[in-house]
């Protein structure tokens, strides 16, 4: 039996936090435009209920980019209808939400390949090429 199946539910109605957040995001978009400053809003640290989060998702809409990262659990990165505003959800191994962020940036940090990994893959590539040469 899941928590969902238990017929005890708190009644949730939007509190108006979503539109307040929209105003904040507007400021951050301008900051990104003028000063190149990026910003992250952590949705889980705000007193939002499910209805608020749904309302915010509706207000922001769906954009053209959607990326999925498979690490321990998955992560979903979506650009909203407002370019430069990204909605990021990190899931744990059992599909529970670990963190939910809104990032105001050109490319979310987590999508950028880190130079350490580029270096590592270059080494791997080099050794596999060396291996091929030997086989040939």
Binding site for another protein (CB under 8 A): 3, 7-11, 38-42, 44-45, 47, 49, 69, 71-73, 75, 90, 92-94, 96-99, 101, 109-110, 113-114, 116-117, 120
User: 68, 76 in Cβ contact below 8 A?
Assistant: yes
Which CB, 49 or 54, lies closer to another protein? 49
Which CB, 75 or 80, lies closer to another protein? 75
> Which runs of consecutive H residues, i.e. helices, occur in 46-114?
50-60
- Given CA atoms 105, 110, 113, 116 in this order, what sign does their dihedral have? positive
Give the shortest CB-52-to-another protein separation in angstroms.
Answer: 10
Give the shortest CB-79-to-another protein separation in angstroms.
Answer: 18
Give the shortest CB-110-to-another protein separation in angstroms.
Answer: 5
d(Cα 93, Cα 19) in Å, to the nearest integer? 32
Phi, psi of 23 (to 5 degrees): -60, -40
H-run or E-run covering 127:
helix 115-135
Which CB, 5 or 136, lies closer to another protein? 5
């Amino acid at each position: 039996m899941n928590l969902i199946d238990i017929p005890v539910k708190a009644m949730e109605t939007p509190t108006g936090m979503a539109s307040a957040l929209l105003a904040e995001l507007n400021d951050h978009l301008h900051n990104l435009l003028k000063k190149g400053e990026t910003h992250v809003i952590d949705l889980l640290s705000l007193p939002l209920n499910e209805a608020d989060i749904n309302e915010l998702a509706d207000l922001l809409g769906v954009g053209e980019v959607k990326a999925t990262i498979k690490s321990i659990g998955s992560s979903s990165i979506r650009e909203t209808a407002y370019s430069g505003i990204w909605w990021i959800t990190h899931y744990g191994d059992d599909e529970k939400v670990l963190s939910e962020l809104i990032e105001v940036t050109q490319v979310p940090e987590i999508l950028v390949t880190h130079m350490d990994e580029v270096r590592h893959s270059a080494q791997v590539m080099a050794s596999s090429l060396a291996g091929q040469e030997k086989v040939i």
